[in-house]
Structure 1
């Protein structure tokens, strides 16, 4: 099948199936019903291995958003990847990615969820190394090794959950007490942290930007990185009041702060957006650890639309400026690409939580519910400061790439002429504007009771305005303040490199762990284990067999000699 010919048909099928699933999900939400499909594959004693599909409003709504965004990404790829010689292979990998995410979304069973979970890891590795250069290979290896930690955690969780008689975490999560099943909760939280790139596994998320931009739009909006958040949403009843939930709150708040700070020192366009994704993942997991599951799911849906739009706009800009990703080589794009810049401004405003955009309805409610919760001062400070940092790096990005000085080369042909890339942006642009209000009416038909002082109520808006002014003014003065970054070089390096996490994950921790692992294998599996295990047993058995064999053959010879001698003696007797 030639994807360049049938791409419109495939995208239309994705859209039709997504719209049907969306209607089904809204019906399930209104009726409060769900459908469970179960196939029993194998039974052992009281435990059964079954393949289960759960079709409730959470899985159906999320799957409809995944299908919508994936159809837009497939259509967008027709323009972005049109000159690639391996275009068909790329499209098949994207479809495999979507199928893996669908299998993970619909499965409530910890064993069958591995089909989608490992499928995401495998296909993401194939997509990150798609350009087949050294940078892509290193990024792919970091991605797959980081995600394998979460895979091992799920496998250990499967082994521990056998005591419950099954692996359906939707059914058994209500009966997991903190005293008896804390290890299972910690393992699943660890799996979610690796897939959603929380500290200390954050280094792989910006490194995965080595993949093509359409893949980034899909990965960072509704698929790979949101898999950990979705797992925690499904497992949320078991986390209520546990130590794992409190630990997740601290880690997610630190991730949110770290990503926002790092994005203000980054100059790679795709990495800035990747760090903003990391920051929003911290927001989702932090509010989830406070106990507001539906609110985290609401932000997950709205974030998927405007983040996919943001990556698509970034891809159009990179595609137009001769594949440069440094925002210092861009500038004044609003005069050449008014449509793409308009959509990017809409996505940026939704990311900042500007009033009446999609992100406003979820982020404002998240911050208000968090301020009303029993937060300590450190978490409160991280929430407030991270909100200002989000607006700060957004306006920094706008200043450098969209509204700053003209820094493009003369050979750049910058325009909005590619309809295959701008048409999907129009649909997602509408979603970035209207999805917040529509989804808030659907998910929260009854208004939440917010009771706080006027100062606390205005704190979010004040911090956002302060962050916007700070981000814009600091970068306007960047020319005269260039040497200031040299004076604070150590702090700039520390904050701009994600607290040295890429260095720790690759050169130090990765190298030392691999060397230590090779020594353990040499001394264990290939050393003492071989000597006293299979090889030693083999040598011992062969040695005993040779002794027995020699005894048997020698005994037969002695017996035959004695028999022949006895016969001769008997014959010689009179």
Structure 2
């Protein structure tokens, strides 16, 4: 089989699956349907193995977006990964990734969810370490160990839900929401979602996962791995409303949004800037979800998936043309040489900022206006608006370095636009980045939100966007390559640029400390006392008696005869006495 054949087959399969989901979604919305399917795989005596599926507007629309982005990414990989010898292996890994996500989306059963959830973790590890070097290995270990905490939480939920007689959690959410054990389940679900969606203190794995190939980054950071946590909380939203954990999540996700926005302004790696913007948007989704507006979180999840996948694809093409260099200080003036890619990059960046009438505007503006109407404290309110301004700040900084500044890399220009495979896949997502906001707002909300604000409150979003734009232009024009000159202190800049020292805490303190404890437990218990008194001890006892038995077997029969006569004589003598 030609190495490109699997790319085309996968692309057409996923595109067909997306169209099928689209038509089903229209039918379901029109008839207000929710379908719960149970398929009995095997029935043996009193044991039934049943596979259940939940099809509603949320699962169908999410599957539609996942399959659309996946098909575009696989088509894009045909060109981007063309020099890869094992292209089929790469495509199979991506398909496994998509399959795990779809399994997670359609399952109302916590046992089935762990299959998709763990599948995402395992395949993401395989994709992060795809380029086999020490940096990728470290990033993969950080990713898989951080996500493992969430996996353990889901396993504990499975154990806890054995009290209820079924693992179909969808039936328990409404009438058991005040139950103590359901509060425990909600706490574990929130912790699991925080690890998968990289909230503080588990944020450091998300920029590290940029060691994966760029098409994988486009898929992972838009609609699959990082959104799994948000999707799980959307499904469990009835259980989580008005719990103490949600108030804590509101604070943590607000701080995540703020921290990611600041760190992106210090970063010079193009992919890491986009990864930190993903982290910021995940904070926005989690925070609005923690206030009970799950529809708004889902709306932003879908619109964000479109422009973020496009943004990664554009970044991948720019990196490709810059001889695989990711440092934005080396770039500049690309709009003169690759205008179509620059167009896609600018539109996706502006959609990220929430510029009116692009995809991001419909969801971000609605979220911020609902926040302005809510009864919140000033800390959360300021975190939202400052983070929105910081989004514009790092976006304008990125555009200044890429589009407006002088070209800084090589004397010989190597920029060309002719790669139509990449362009075609980007054009699909470009159209969706332009129109998805408006059609989703009609599709998701059956009735319009009533927004009633004063003029200044209504214009607050525009104010912070304009302020962020001004700051971005001003800082980018400074000749020193960072904000150190602006803040006039090296130590503060060092703290802010390193994600508040979270990678160091995750790598050198927590992981090293816990892995050391695990190693000692393994040595002293698993391979020590428990071995001595269980497996290895039993083996030694049996071995000892087997050797004695063997000695009898290999000796002459006379020994048995003499010993038998001797024992009989002793026995008779004892009886006579």
**What TM-score range do you get, normalising by the shorter chain?**
over 0.9
In the other structure, the counterpart of 1:23 is 23
Q: Please report how far the alpha carbon of residue 518 of structure 1 lies from its aligned counterpart in structure 2 after TM superposition.
A: 1.2
Matched, 1:419 2:420: yes
Deviations 1:488-542 (A, max 9, x none): 1111111111111111111222111111221222232233333454545666788
Q: How do residues 386-535 of structure 1 correspond to structure 2 at under 5 angstroms?
A: 386-479=387-480, 484=485, 487-535=488-536
- Rate the CA distance shift 1:152–1:555 in 2: closer, same or farther, 3 A: farther
Q: Please report how far the alpha carbon of residue 43 of structure 1 lies from its aligned counterpart in structure 2 after TM superposition.
A: 9.3
- Rate the CA distance shift 1:440–1:520 in 2: closer, same or farther, 3 A: same
In 2: Cα distance, 1:329 partner to 1:71 partner? 32
Deviations 1:228-252 (A, max 9, x none): 1111111111001111211211111
- Rate the CA distance shift 1:563–1:358 in 2: closer, same or farther, 3 A: closer
In the other structure, the counterpart of 1:296 is 297
Deviations 1:396-421 (A, max 9, x none): 00001111122131234112110010
* TM-score of the superposed pair, with normalisation by structure 1: 0.93
Greater displacement, 380-389 / 367-376: 367-376
* Structure 1, unpaired ranges of 5+: 570-574
**How many residues of Structure 1 are paired with residues of Structure 2 in the alignment?**
566
Q: How do residues 185-224 of structure 1 correspond to structure 2 at under 5 angstroms?
A: 185-224=186-225
- Rate the CA distance shift 1:546–1:489 in 2: closer, same or farther, 3 A: same
In the other structure, the counterpart of 1:155 is 155
In 2: Cα distance, 1:566 partner to 1:448 partner? 102
Q: Tell me the SS of whatever aligns to 1:323.
A: coil
In 2: Cα distance, 1:555 partner to 1:534 partner? 35
Q: How do residues 4-19 of structure 1 correspond to structure 2 at under 5 angstroms?
A: 4-5=4-5, 7-19=7-19
In 1: Cα distance, 2:547 partner to 2:92 partner? 58
In 2: Cα distance, 1:65 partner to 1:286 partner? 22
Greater displacement, 513-522 / 133-142: 513-522
Deviations 1:59-111 (A, max 9, x none): 01000101101110011001111111111111111111111111111111110
Matched, 1:57 2:87: no
In 2: Cα distance, 1:79 partner to 1:234 partner? 37
In 2: Cα distance, 1:246 partner to 1:41 partner? 42
In 1: Cα distance, 2:484 partner to 2:541 partner? 73
- Rate the CA distance shift 1:189–1:476 in 2: closer, same or farther, 3 A: same
In 2: Cα distance, 1:76 partner to 1:472 partner? 32
In the other structure, the counterpart of 2:230 is 229
Q: How do residues 329-348 of structure 1 correspond to structure 2 at under 5 angstroms?
A: 329-348=330-349
Deviations 1:352-395 (A, max 9, x none): 00000100000000111122222222111111110100010000
Given that 2:263 and 2:498 are in contact with CA atoms closer than 8 Å, whether structure 1 keeps it comes out as yes
In the other structure, the counterpart of 1:351 is 352
Given that 1:48 and 1:165 are in contact with CA atoms closer than 8 Å, whether structure 2 keeps it comes out as no
Matched, 1:124 2:124: yes
- Rate the CA distance shift 1:479–1:541 in 2: closer, same or farther, 3 A: closer
- Rate the CA distance shift 1:555–1:179 in 2: closer, same or farther, 3 A: farther
Q: Tell me the SS of whatever aligns to 2:516.
A: helix
In 2: Cα distance, 1:529 partner to 1:383 partner? 53
In 1: Cα distance, 2:207 partner to 2:408 partner? 25
Deviations 1:329-371 (A, max 9, x none): 0001110111010111100110000000100000000111122
- Aligned CA RMSD, in angstroms, stands at 2.8
- Rate the CA distance shift 1:286–1:413 in 2: closer, same or farther, 3 A: same
In 1: Cα distance, 2:516 partner to 2:179 partner? 37
Q: Tell me the SS of whatever aligns to 2:418.
A: coil
In 1: Cα distance, 2:114 partner to 2:532 partner? 35
* Structure 2, unpaired ranges of 5+: 551-559
In 2: Cα distance, 1:482 partner to 1:281 partner? 25
Matched, 1:561 2:562: no
In the other structure, the counterpart of 1:83 is 83
